[in-house]
Structure 1
């Protein structure tokens, strides 16, 4: 028979019991702490927009809020007590904007509540809407994901690969990748091969608008087949759209090779890391006319490559609105020879 303990007759015992109970609850996450989100009505909003190409669909967005007030209590490798910011996850579906191909969600930056939540990161992306178009028993593989971090913590997918200032605009190419695996049972996956592996990860502390435009090149499919037995020298074989087969030890398609096959340009021209070796660097003249401080009435133009890098000692030919011609090389900072204001704006630009 279980008897109820009557602590009302002993106020001191009742107080001790309450304190012990509260202490126990606190170690588990706080005494009667309210962990719910409660964004204030005037909270600043962060918008995420996806321009969805035909054949793909949006994945459910994973939104994480963090709190320095409500700590997550854990145990370290040596049994010591550990504390880190608490976290709270919510899941959102992006809503279609009218009859357009734009899908959007707005998120309060301030999560409010007793824990004073703040928006920490979002994980979203795209995947194929219909897997049956690739055959029977084909399952989704991965790719087409984006992580944006709004604070100084890592996301559940790790830290950022890129740090950006201001708003974030992402426009990336993707290719269908159909892969077969044999070891441990036959599996067939369809994935999106892109610049990153599965996720592109950004830290954007000041961003208020996130725009993601995946560009799907459906006509440039890459196939892969893993070896049927584990043996030295057995590698996954990739068959590219031009029919070439490569088995060089890589586990993912050669993205720059796909870009090169589609565009007809050398692979070095398609990466900012190897662009200095590009045989056909594409220069461009920025439209702003920059006055020369010690030469009144004269200004210069800046010439850069397609990645925004300044091009020193680069040949150019300018024809001004007055018909005058300026033919020279850029200086060490990528600037043209000073030209008179009468030539601005330019009528013609050539790079011999």
Structure 2
């Protein structure tokens, strides 16, 4: 045993066992290992190793010619390899570990379809599983809108394949089975002055920058962004931040609106393009539409707890369910079913004896 003699203090000779010091350093190294590596051990293998027979999830994008695909950010999670963190008071917190990989969507021949396959089972010692994928589209050549214009946001999609939130939060929509996404987008040229000048070309769509879906059973994800290039909206940020100053939006018809909103009025853009009233473009205001185009889907959906009865689904021309919508059905036996659809767009239960329907009306 090695001993280090220290100077006398209060007539007492103090000695330190260097072996104890080494042990303390060793314990500190373990703590640092947990902090810096964030998982349950320093020597464990955290790499992905998908089995050859792992089930694949296919992501496909139908790409308009003006746009390009972004790199797909894929996240795997593990309940085996935890991420460990220490709180302000030293308490230990464990969360599922995560591992990110980045993939490129590849063009399929000479088509406009780009796709990538993702192993559902990430394998490895950590037993990784596919958690979520973030992808999207942006303008391929922003300078077509000006020499110093750069690509902005919009046109993003996040698909969540497990019960965890994505890095950008929980889902906006939950779907069963495979996922098909078709959305309208408009070019949005925005000029900003506050915090430094910049000019960007973004995609204005319904919702935020990212559309977030939870699709636990999906094996195919299909995304078709529909770009309406002839309907560009421009926005100009005020040069001075003060009360009453708002970003001004100039729409394709020449109207200028500065009402305090931070992004274009999507329904206004839809209305300008289609020539239809804005109320006709939202399922929640569709009952006020002067040019309604509801339709009753032909499939009769049996009611599980009511043998011999089923329901119909009423949707608008885009397939959106129409809640609290008036309808009138006349069956082959002359019986009438008349009411409003429920919150899911379904009619009241209809007896099988009414089939096939003789008349469908939307008063």
TM-score by length of 1: 0.82
Corresponding residue for 2:166? 155
Q: Which of residues 199, 208, 224 is equivalent to 2:219? A: 208
Q: Which of residues 323, 334, 338 is equivalent to 1:330? A: 338
Pair 1:327–1:280, CA change in 2 (3 A): farther
Pair 1:299–1:116, CA change in 2 (3 A): closer
- Aligned-pair distance for 1:87? 0.8
Corresponding residue for 1:308? 321
2:297–2:315: 8 Å Cα contact kept in structure 1? no
Q: How does 1:20-31 map to 2 (within 5 A)?
A: 23=30, 27=34, 28=37, 29=39, 30-31=41-42
TM-score by length of 2: 0.80
SS at 2:262 equivalent = coil
Corresponding residue for 2:15? none
- Aligned-pair distance for 1:270? 1.6
Deviations along 1:96-152, one digit per CA (max 9) or x if unpaired, are: 111111111110111000011010110000000111110111011100000111112
Q: Aligned partners of 1:32, 1:235: CA distance in 2, in Å?
A: 55
Q: Aligned partners of 1:42, 1:275: CA distance in 2, in Å?
A: 48
Unaligned runs of 5+ in 1: 1-11, 293-297
Corresponding residue for 1:295? none
1:161–1:200: 8 Å Cα contact kept in structure 2? yes
Q: Aligned partners of 2:130, 2:283: CA distance in 1, in Å?
A: 32
Q: Does 1:113 align with 2:124?
A: yes
Unaligned runs of 5+ in 2: 1-18, 342-346
1:40–1:112: 8 Å Cα contact kept in structure 2? yes
SS at 2:280 equivalent = helix
Structure 1 segments of 4 or more deviating over 4 A?
Answer: 19-26, 289-292, 298-301, 310-313, 315-318, 326-329, 335-341, 343-346, 348-352
Pair 1:143–1:339, CA change in 2 (3 A): same
Q: Which of residues 71, 75, 100 is equivalent to 2:86? A: 75
Q: Which of residues 214, 220, 239 is equivalent to 2:231? A: 220
Corresponding residue for 1:6? none
Q: Does 1:89 align with 2:100?
A: yes
Pair 1:330–1:90, CA change in 2 (3 A): same
